[in-house]
A and B are shown apart, each in its own frame.
Chain A
Amino acid sequence: MQIYEAVAYAMRYWFVLVILAILLCVIVVSIVEYRDRKKVMANAESHIGYMDVVYTAANNLEEGDRFALAKSNIIGSSASCNIVINDRDVMKKHVKINSKEDGVYVEVYAPNNTQLNGRAVKNEEPVFSGDILLMGNTALMLHIKEEEA
């Protein structure tokens, strides 16, 4: 019995230690998770949709690559663009995808090398989910949030 008493007396520190470790873990994870979620949800709020690469010959992209669309995006071969396509047939500043009051529009700076759903685009046109935008040798499928369309 004396052995039990000695062990139980010593183990009280162990119990307190484990309880405090659990408490610390829960507090830390709660804070981290709160920040994570806030960041992700703010991102989800500030973006209008995304684009998937359907087909590409550019050397910096692969099929299946995905880009989130901000409120305003410039796509081109220049490194300063939001989305960069390294392709000889893509201009430095090729198109701009823009969110406006009444929907999302694509503004084309290089009409010769741009197609929307297989036909030529003049300077500005509305785009919708499922549309395919072809720039040079790269095809992108657009996915736009319901509330933006």
Chain B
Amino acid sequence: MIYVRRSAAVVLFFILLLVLSAFGLLAFRDGQFDIIAAAFGIGACVLFVTLYNVAKTVFRHIDRYVLIICIFLTGIGFIMQYRLNPEYALRQIIMFAIGIVALFIAIAAVKKAGNFGKWNYIFMAGVLGLLLLSLLFARVIGGARNWVQILGMSMQPSEFAKVLFIVTAAYFFSNKNRIASILPFLLFSAACILVLVLSKDLGAAILYALTTLVMFFAGTGRALLTLAGMGILSAGAYASYRLFPHVKTRVDIWQNPWVAERTEGYQIVQALMAIASGSLFGMGLGLGSPASIPASYTDFIFAGLCEEFGIIAGVAVILFYLLFVLRGALIALNARTLFHQLLVFGCTAMLCLQCFVIIAGVIKMIPLTGITLPFISYGGSSMVSCMALVGIIEGVAVKNGEYDEKKIESIGGAVL
């Protein structure tokens, strides 16, 4: 019996078609042929094809469709960023290349190391260190104190910390089956969230808190304690609404952005109008005015996407994130140890929550908290950390594939 892994070559071909045609169009935006846009499009395609082929050759059992979804979203991101600001797109493609390295390192690390054992305590110290670093040394951008300048480059340490955070969470929730022994980790995550709230990085704080909660539930299966945790979170959210004026502003704008249309509510109002003017099929690439939305290339990129590609494409992008979650869940279900199950589940949950928090914020479903849209938004730290999360998922997929292959070989079959 031969089990043939489905190739993703057809899908990759469609992605290349999309990216090349979009950059072909963008090249003629100013009336004459812009060689840089064409070169950028071809460069991105070469990078995608190389990544796909190298990954599936080096790690035979990689989940090809998780990788393809992440390539597709990155491609859409490149198109939007080049359209908004070619300079940022160039920086983003470099960060994507660095992200590929992070992806391979993560796959290799998950494949090699068991559950990282004592390393988890070092990871914990690393997470707290990174978060404190941003609290103490960071510059304030957009109300949040989360940018650190290192060697002339701005970085967001909370982005890198979240990768290690998930590894430690998976370790503690899987290794310790008594609640008392999970307690130190819960205190640790409470400390992380507190530091994030103090640095006014609310998006990351919500992300860490919700990820801890869903991983706690998945790991221990205790519904009552999870509900209690939700209660504590709600109380904390309410307290920060009372204590911090900028949280209160966010909620007020969410309830009615139109009263402050020219001031605090400007961003959301612009985003809503952009999405509305895009209608079903969009205004056409390069014909909208997404640049009028503040932060259109990072947090609000979804609004720009809907304006130029239309709501159908916007919904399709959300569906791609859902498919990503689905495939992540399948990998988690097939994983052989609780640690690996929780690891994949945590990574998937974090990426999914991140999408939800920012997309729902942009379309005014929940109060806005600024975080990046994974793979699409401009942001080097975000790109690298998302690729590392994908790497962890793929690493477990490779492990699953090896177990499956052994099983199939034991009855005389093979995996191709």
Measuring CB to CB, which residues of chain A are less than 8 angstroms from any residue of chain B?
A: 1, 4-5, 7-16, 18-23, 25-27, 29-30, 32-34, 36-37, 40-41, 43-45, 47-52, 66-69, 143, 145-146
Contacts and interface: CB of A to CB of B under 8 A. Distances in A.
Interface residues of B, number: 49
Given A8-B287, A11-B285, A50-B412, A16 B309 contact: yes
Interface of B: 1, 3-6, 8, 10-11, 14-15, 17-18, 21-22, 25, 28-29, 31, 65, 68-69, 72, 281-287, 308-310, 312-313, 316-317, 319-320, 323, 326-327, 330, 404, 407-408, 410-413
Nearest to B24: A11
A145 B309 contact: no
Nearest to A145: B410
A11 B285 CA distance: 8
A78 to B, nearest CB: 23
Contacts of B65: 26, 29-30, 33
5 contacts: A11-B285, A26-B68, A30-B323, A33-B5, A49-B411
A4 B413 CA distance: 56
B42 to A, nearest CB: 17
Given A26-B65, A36-B6, A68-B1, 9 more contacts: A14-B21, A15-B18, A16-B282, A21-B14, A22-B15, A51-B412, A143-B412, A145-B410, A145-B411
A52 B412 CA distance: 9
Contact of A29 (B6, B286, B411): B6
Contacts of A7: 25, 28
B309 A69 contact: no
B407 A23 contact: no
A108 B56 CA distance: 47
Contact of B407 (A9, A41, A48): A41
B407 A1 contact: no
Contacts of A66: 412
Contacts of A10: 284
B21 A11 contact: yes
A1 B330 CA distance: 49
Nearest to A22: B14
A37 B312 CA distance: 32
A30 B65 CA distance: 8
Contacts of B320: 23, 26
5 A-B pairs closest in CB distance: A50-B412, A8-B284, A47-B411, A9-B284, A18-B18
A36 B18 CA distance: 29
A139 B212 CA distance: 59
Nearest to B282: A12
Nearest to B323: A26
Given A4-B31, A4-B286, A29-B8, A23 B410 contact: no
A26 B411 contact: no
B65 to A, nearest CB: 6
B408 A44 contact: yes
Nearest to B407: A44
B410 A16 contact: no
A15 B309 contact: yes
A29 B10 CA distance: 11
Contact of A44 (B282, B316, B410): B410
Contact of A16 (B69, B283, B287, B313): B313
Contacts of A47: 411
B1 A13 contact: no
A44 B65 CA distance: 24
A88 B3 CA distance: 36
Contact of B17 (A18, A30, A37, A45): A18
Contact of B3 (A22, A26, A40): A40
Nearest to A32: B6
Contacts of A15: 18, 21-22, 282, 285, 309, 313
B244 to A, nearest CB: 39
Nearest to B3: A40
A108 B1 CA distance: 27
A20 B312 CA distance: 9
Nearest to B79: A15
B11 A25 contact: yes
A23 B308 CA distance: 19
A20 to B, nearest CB: 6
Contacts of B283: 9, 12
Contact of B10 (A23, A25, A30, A49): A25
A15 B316 CA distance: 12
Nearest to B19: A18
